């Protein structure tokens, strides 16, 4: 039996994670999560009447002070018979995460959409202490020393791991 089959009765919430890459393309922005006590990309819940794409940009800014923009990932063209639907930029991944029970909060499911973003301008981090313990830019080597999840390492590796330095 899979985690999805075992948790059909759990409340489900849509969340987003923002993997922001710095201007040089060799570091990613992570926050030390207050509740989980581990390093994760900035992110949070998708608010009512908000797209996940808007939510991830908002969450990155709220938690770190960093202005970032989504890397376009448009999927397929939806033009059919002269009509066109809006295609939202696709996430890098979408995961089904069991969030354990905590005092005052039952166990529940996060359906998390991970997006790639690029920093826009200033890379100075201003961690929102009410939301996170700390925030910073990390290379792939530095990430190996952090307490984080294997999925975070895999996504960061896909974004900055095979980067070839530009010689000028």
How does pLDDT run across 135-154, given as a tens digit for each residue?
A: 999 999 999 999 999 999 99
CATH number of the domain residue 58 falls in = 3.90.79.10
What's this model's pTM, rounded to 2 decimal places?
Answer: 0.90
pLDDT at 14: 97
Q: Please state, in angstroms and as integers, the Cα–Cα distance from residue 120 to each residue in 17, 23, 42, 44, following that order.
A: 17, 8, 16, 20
Residue 101 lies in a domain: yes
Residue 123 lies in a domain: yes
Beta bridge partners of 114: 17, 93
Residue 5 lies in a domain: no
Residue 80 lies in a domain: no
pLDDT at 16: 98
Mind listing the pLDDT tens digit for each residue in 15-39?
Answer: 999 999 999 999 999 999 988 889 9
Mean pLDDT of the 126-138 span? 91
pLDDT at 87: 82
**Residue numbers of the domain that contains 42:** 12-75+87-161
Burial class (CB in 10 A: 0-12, 13-18, 19+), 130: exposed
pLDDT at 61 over 90: yes
Taking the CA atoms of residue 1, residue 3, residue 151 and residue 102 in that order, the dihedral angle to the nearest 10 degrees is -150
Mind listing the pLDDT tens digit for each residue in 70-92?
Answer: 999 888 877 777 777 778 899 99
pLDDT at 161 over 90: no
Residue 167 lies in a domain: no
Residue 6 lies in a domain: no
d(CA 93, CA 114): 5
151 vs 163, higher pLDDT: 151
Residue 7 lies in a domain: no
If one counts the domains in the chain, the total is 1
Residue 67 lies in a domain: yes
């Amino acid at each position: 039996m899979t985690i999805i089959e075992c948790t059909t009765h759990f409340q489900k919430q849509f969340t987003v994670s923002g993997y922001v890459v710095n201007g040089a393309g060799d570091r990613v922005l992570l926050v030390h999560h207050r509740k989980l006590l581990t390093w994760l990309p900035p992110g949070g819940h998708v608010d009512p009447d908000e797209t996940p794409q808007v939510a991830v940009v908002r969450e990155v800014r709220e938690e770190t002070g960093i202005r970032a923009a989504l890397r376009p990932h448009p999927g397929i063209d939806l033009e059919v018979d002269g009509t066109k639907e809006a295609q939202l930029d696709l996430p890098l991944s979408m995961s089904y995460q069991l969030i354990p029970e905590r005092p005052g909060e039952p166990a529940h499911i996060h359906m998390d959409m991970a997006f790639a973003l690029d920093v826009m301008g200033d890379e100075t981090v201003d961690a929102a202490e009410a939301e996170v313990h700390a925030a910073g830019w990390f290379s792939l080597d530095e990430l190996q020393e952090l307490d984080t999840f294997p999925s975070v390492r895999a996504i960061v590796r896909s974004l900055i791991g095979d980067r070839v330095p530009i010689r000028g």
